[in-house]
Structure 1
């Protein structure tokens, strides 16, 4: 079942692409651009703001090992077992994740998000649905099908799928909802997940809005709150993004996909204005890492900038197009939030290793007047294992080296902060934390480093340095994720993991508690 492997490898690769540093984004050979260090007209630096820490949310999918929704099917995807477990033909699935019909002898299957209790023991699950058809299961025990219902036992420690055996094209199986037997059927989000977000100041919806895939565009394409699947190519329903922020009592940080059209942008902003709880602030980015040519949106911005002849080189064309798109989009948010502008924070994001690139966008026409903040991703530890030791059994020397890298990552970040200060903008971290990657033979090295109690000490040094030198908000990556042999970005590895086993999360929560001053 190669699809299981793909579902694990692809998200890890996406995260790694998301955090690539200067290696592939240095000024291109032959470019004559030399960015000024400060704006031509000095602005008053924004007042110092207290330090706060936020969290980037992991994909709400079954392979993330994190349960966000009460409906265990919300993180699934329809697959075709008889076609090599490829994704089911999307043309045969409607906007609510309903397979409209099955061919004779055909079935479909969907992996479910594992509930926390299923890591420790068997769990009784009840799936309810509308329409006519029959559900079954794969990797289950004691399955029992009845009209509009499928009951089964989830065996401890296993992956489990539901199977669509038959469906009536005139009244197809739809609105599938699987959760623990006896669980509250009205709850949208898992209570433990919501409670785990409450200590943070904000949550960033990069993956929940599928910004890197950049598929979303029109209002008609959006995911509906009634859709069974909430982790698909169009991202999570807008209504659920706002609902989660309200329930967790945190600020939402939206990452609007580059191809979001103006009409969809306005309706999204209007919904946020009308439904985000009083006292909450909406942080807004347009696209993710337009500086990073690994992503479709960055390549699209370059192509659009070159077609419009926006610069004398590729960097100018791309960054000026970024500035145009940001300005165009934020004018929509400004219209929607007229008279309520303190409720939103308009963000331009750049590359921590080369912050000067962003002066092209910051100083293009009137871009800076439509911004509230400049954000970077100050990761540390990127080079830790570029030349790993021959003996990887002793982690002590590696942690000593890792701790020394904390200040190294803040050197360019301090330059970026000066750029923000010169333009009267806040300076934020849109992503951050350790960024250890490895391609050697010891498959246990990265997991051991991330699970070691000394990682908490490294995080304490990192978070304290941010507090001393910057203040304001740093968004850490990421809420959950497996500790793989190549990288491990999750604060936890799975839902319900004991705090004693999560040194990164423990250090962050301690820092948040210390900063309550």
Structure 2
């Protein structure tokens, strides 16, 4: 509701009752006489930040929560999945009406956040981005990023994931270039375009090219698929060096676990655990840690054998003298079509035992000489689509996952 007494022209004071909903702002009329003097430059800020919001771009509570991290991956901020970005002229701009709806956050803002907290930024170039787009993006980063920071750069996100438009685009591009009979053309095209992207970034940074960490990723549990990306024989046949030799610095995988709790075949068993005195918590964490309690179990989904997948990919990276990094990782408990299990999975994410599980995961990663490990994600409200956030909201002081990280 509007506080009529405290409000004045150009400054409305709104009393908001905290809830899970957003503030919905509707403009019903503006500039009825078409004079050009329409309503503009609307800012909605908490009263306590009224005097500082123009100089402090980011919510201080947000800064306080993320400042301990050494790197930030901007995949979601850049609207990477299904991105329509192609030409530099249509990039997100600082004066866009909103960064939340549309093209994503401008590079200038992301660099400011990285500089603000002293964290290495990780950018995901749109899969359709032209060479001009990539060059200009890299130039802004070179000109404005703290030179003491590294910059990680990756082409798109999970280009092998058929949920995302970028996988279909890569397949179409690869098969158009090398033939429709080439089943792995999407991965070879991704490897080729990553190599080209890396060459552009390194060239822009010139004598400071070591500041750039070029990343090439693969599907973690599809062993062998990485060869198409790293070695890209179809592109090599055109007279090029293998993709990984184009100044690629890091080989990226995901570091997720779920203990096979997500499998549909295991639903009835897990639901039976809910009748245990502790609501199934002990069995769930035992399954996550060691496996052996469910009728259907996939490889590498419990902590007891995740070291095998880490070791495999570390050997792949070492063979090519690349650093192994994790582009995403953490728990991966999701059951969108079962309310009981959704609530159970949220409970597991909040449980103190998750701290130990995360600690064991990160220690195993370290034992396998893994480099940077990016958790997905920083802050997010749990739902049937997953409990991805280390914190559930920006005002939450701690959580088992956040504390472990």
What is the TM-score with the length of structure 2 in the denominator? 0.86
User: In the aligned structure 1, how far is the partner of 2:273 from the partner of 2:226?
Assistant: 41
Cα distance, 1:263 vs structure 2:
1.1
Q: Which has the higher contact order (CA 8 A, sep 6+)?
A: 1
SS at match of 2:75: coil
Cα distance, 1:155 vs structure 2:
2.0
Q: Render the CA deviation track for 1:328-382: whole Å, top value 9, x for unaligned.
A: 2222112201111110000111111014201112112221112111100020115
**Aligned with 1:414 (options 311, 327, 341):** 311
Cα distance, 1:158 vs structure 2:
6.0
Cα distance, 1:412 vs structure 2:
2.2
Q: Render the CA deviation track for 1:259-295: whole Å, top value 9, x for unaligned.
A: 1111111111000001000210000001111111211
**Aligned with 1:337 (options 169, 193, 205):** 205
* Greater CA drift, 380-389 or 285-294: 380-389
Q: Render the CA deviation track for 1:420-441: whole Å, top value 9, x for unaligned.
A: 1101111100000011122434
SS at match of 1:384: coil
**Aligned with 1:164 (options 27, 30, 44):** 27
CA RMSD of aligned residues (A): 1.8
1:352/1:412 contact within 8 Å kept: yes
Q: Extract structure 1 runs of 4+ deviating beyond 6 A.
A: none
1:212-227 to structure 2, matched below 5 A, reads 212-227=81-96
User: Is the aligned partner of 1:374 residue 2:251?
Assistant: yes
1:432/1:474 contact within 8 Å kept: yes
SS at match of 2:373: strand
User: In the aligned structure 2, how far is the partner of 1:287 from the partner of 1:428?
Assistant: 16
Q: Render the CA deviation track for 1:230-286: whole Å, top value 9, x for unaligned.
A: 122311011001000000110000011111111111111000001000210000001
Higher strand share: 1
Cα distance, 1:141 vs structure 2:
4.2
Cα distance, 1:311 vs structure 2:
7.3
Q: Render the CA deviation track for 1:41-90: whole Å, top value 9, x for unaligned.
A: xxxxxxxxxxxxxxxxxxxxxxxxxxxxxxxxxxxxxxxxxxxxxxxxxx
Alpha carbons of structure 1 residues 455 and 380: separation in structure 2 relative to 1, 3 Å: same
**Aligned with 1:361 (options 229, 241, 245):** 229
Aligned to 1:93: none
User: Is the aligned partner of 1:150 residue 2:12?
Assistant: yes
**Aligned with 1:230 (options 71, 80, 99):** 99
Unaligned runs of 5+ in 1: 1-139, 509-517
Cα distance, 1:226 vs structure 2:
2.2
1:15-164 to structure 2, matched below 5 A, reads 140-142=1-3, 146-157=8-19, 159=21, 160-164=23-27
* Greater CA drift, 399-408 or 438-447: 438-447
Cα distance, 1:210 vs structure 2:
0.7
Aligned to 2:287: 401
Unaligned runs of 5+ in 2: 291-301
What is the count of residue pairs matched by the alignment? 366
Alpha carbons of structure 1 residues 253 and 202: separation in structure 2 relative to 1, 3 Å: same
SS at match of 2:12: strand
Alpha carbons of structure 1 residues 397 and 301: separation in structure 2 relative to 1, 3 Å: same
Alpha carbons of structure 1 residues 355 and 200: separation in structure 2 relative to 1, 3 Å: farther
User: Is the aligned partner of 1:506 residue 2:403?
Assistant: yes
